[in-house]
């Protein structure tokens, strides 16, 4: 079942995932800064300044040398002025503590002020080549509807299993985009690649209620087992 879901997600992402410029990049610096900017900001707004920002600040050292006033110019376009100073702090910390290289290490990333689990996971997964679950509230909603997962730890476990059957970058993008564009409220199940296996889908609801019990290792009586 995990294999089937992973394959469906990958196929859907190849055809339908959003084409933001940072999704082509595998540079930890670009991913760290972009994910920092994306926090509580529309992706479309970050896309507007992406090229300009990374043409001006090509490396973490160039960013660390910027003045707060300069950065304010960029962040005023996003309407979040405080981010310039926080980003400057992160850039300086990386230059001082990591010789100007964004560390591909969860622990080191999380030690930076302003870098939480989501950003650190995104850097690890999208730039460092280390399959790492990336869970935001949209992903949580998708996995809640499909698997009945209600906690982030459950989601991380599910995504780790999905990664075993496919490309961790594509699967992560698929879950993020599915949650942002299709599995919304109300969900547009007709457009969803998981609509034949989703617990939320009315026709599959009862079957999946039982299947989830199996996945969780709960006892299921023979007459309750899903029809294959
Ligand atoms: S089938 Fe509907 S509820 Fe289930 S994941 Fe897809 S959009 Fe969400």
> How far is 31 from 206, CA to CA, in rounded Å?
41
Name the nearest CA neighbour of 54 among 77, 31, 76, 72.
31
Compute the distance from residue 94 Cα to the ligand 1 centre, in Å. 40
Q: How far is the CA of 160 from the centre of ligand 1 (A)?
A: 20
Q: What is the percent of the chain with per-residue pLDDT over 70, rounded to a whole number?
A: 86
Beta carbons of 8 and 193 less than 8 angstroms apart:
yes
This prediction has a pTM of 0.85
Mutation pick for ligand 1 pocket among 187, 203, 208, 209 (CB with most ligand atoms within 8 Å): 187
Which residues contact residue 160 at a Cβ distance below 8 angstroms, ignoring those fewer than 6 apart?
Answer: 131, 133
Domains, the chain: 2-17+133-224 (1.10.1670.10), 27-127 (1.10.340.30)
Going from the Cα of 140 to the center of ligand 1, the distance in angstroms, rounded, reads 12
Instruction: Determine the atom of ligand 1 nearest the C-alpha atom of 192.
Output: 6
Interval 34-55: pLDDT, tens: 999 898 788 888 898 899 999 9
Atom of ligand 1 nearest to the CA of 182: 7
Q: What is the residue-averaged pLDDT of the chain? A: 88
Go through the chain and tell me how many residues it has: 228
pLDDT tens-place string over residues 145-170: 999 898 999 999 999 999 999 999 99
């Amino acid at each position: 079942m995990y294999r089937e879901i992973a394959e469906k997600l990958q196929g859907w992402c190849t055809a339908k995932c959003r084409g933001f410029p940072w999704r082509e990049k595998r540079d930890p610096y670009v991913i760290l800064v972009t994910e920092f900017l994306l926090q509580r900001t529309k992706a479309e707004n970050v896309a507007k300044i992406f090229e300009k920002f990374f043409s001006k600040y090509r490396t973490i050292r160039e960013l660390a040398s910027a003045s707060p006033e300069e950065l304010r110019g960029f962040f005023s376009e996003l309407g979040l002025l405080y981010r310039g100073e926080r980003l400057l702090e992160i850039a300086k910390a990386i230059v001082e503590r990591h010789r100007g290289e964004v560390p591909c290490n969860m622990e080191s990333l999380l030690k930076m002020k302003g870098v939480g689990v989501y950003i650190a996971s995104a850097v690890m997964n999208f730039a460092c080549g280390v399959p790492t679950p990336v869970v935001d509230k949209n992903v949580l909603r998708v996995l809640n509807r499909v698997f009945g997962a209600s906690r982030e730890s459950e989601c991380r476990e599910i995504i780790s299993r999905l990664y075993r059957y496919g490309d961790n970058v594509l699967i992560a993008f698929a879950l993020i985009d599915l949650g942002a564009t299709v599995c919304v409220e109300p969900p547009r199940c007709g457009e969803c690649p998981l609509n034949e296996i989703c617990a939320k889908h009315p026709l599959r609801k009862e079957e999946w209620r039982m299947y989830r019990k199996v996945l969780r290792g709960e006892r299921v009586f023979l007459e309750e087992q899903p029809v294959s």
